[in-house]
Structure 1
Amino acid sequence: MDHVKTLLKAGACVFFALVGWNQYMEYRAAKNWPSVNGTINGIRVESHTNTRSNDNGLRRTETRYEVKARYQYEVKGMHYTGHRISLNSSTHSYSSRSSAESTLAQYPVGKVVTVYYNPEQPDKSLLQR
């Protein structure tokens, strides 16, 4: 049984290392992505509540608030819709609604924003890099 646990832990470590490496490489590439102007056409705060139990059976409920954006931009005559504010989605996940709303206030509907896009896949974009 200990052998199985060790293999599972090793597999999880490899998985998270690969995911982390891919995110790191995307982060590095995004620093050089070109930019265009875009327009915010939707933004909202969503709440997600999770209940977890610890080893002692104690239950803990946590609510997280995420800022969800929608923006339009154009690259070489093609129109795109973006949703990502940044590469790290946890950057826009908050433990309080007021913190999420302060990010929300930065992107009012109709605001012209700088959109950074992947030149090889223009449908992949960010507002912050």
Structure 2
Amino acid sequence: MIEYLRSMIDLALRKELQGIHFWASVYVLIVLAGSLWHVLRVRRWPSTEGRLLRLGVRQFGATGFNPADQQYVPDALYSYRVHGQSYQGREISVWKMSASGLLKNTSAFLPSRVKADAAGNVRVYYHPKRPDKSLLLRPGHATLLFLWALIALVAGFYIWRW
């Protein structure tokens, strides 16, 4: 194993494709594994009742001359209480999303998944040690499956290619 890593370092230093591909794959796998770990931790966050103050889509960044260049992001504002302390949150999901041009309506996907009752009450998931960190949508099985599939795809492509 150590010898293989040394040979990949040597190939990368010589700017050969296999060495570059190997280290790029290692980097992507580390990022995906970190994302998977984060999602697994977030799935265990406790929840509390919150009040939805704003939910929708907002423009992001500078407005240009061409409307197709304008960025749109999901937008939320909600309040909640944990152990008698009041907090406000803005995050909807672990997924960060922005869209522009013809795809601007895709930024409305996450806000459409938030379920509030008639009074505007929502379930808020918060970090147990840092209650100021919160989300409106708990990551589901599809998120886990997607991340595992990406990990398998990256590793499998490297193994298949080399």
Band of TM-score, shorter chain: 0.5 to 0.7
Cα separation, 2, equivalents of 1:23 and 1:105: 21
SS in 1 for 2:132: strand
Residues 100-111 of structure 1 correspond to what in structure 2 (within 5 A)? 100=108, 103=111, 111=120
Q: Hey, which of these two has a bigger chunk of helix by percent?
A: 2
Pair 104,2 (structure 1): closer, same or farther in 2 beyond 3 Å: same
TM-score, L = length of structure 1: 0.65
Unaligned runs of 5+ in 1: 50-60
- The two structures, once aligned, show a CA RMSD in angstroms of 3.5
Which of the two has higher C-alpha Rg? 2
* Cα separation, 1, equivalents of 2:21 and 2:113: 42
Which of 66, 73, 79 pairs up with 1:66?
A: 73
Counterpart position of 2:87: 80
Q: Which amino acid aligns with 1:126?
A: L
User: How far 1:83 moved relative to its partner?
Assistant: 1.5
- Per the normalisation by structure 2, the TM-score is 0.54
Aligned length, in residue pairs: 115
Q: Which amino acid aligns with 1:25?
A: W
Higher strand share: 1
Deviation per CA, 1:1-54, whole angstroms, max 9, x where unpaired? 9834756655543333222222211211222211101112223413469xxxxx
2: CA distance, partners of 1:70 / 1:13 = 37
**For residues 24 and 71 of structure 1, do their structure 2 counterparts lie closer, same or farther at Cα, with a shift above 3 Å needed?**
same
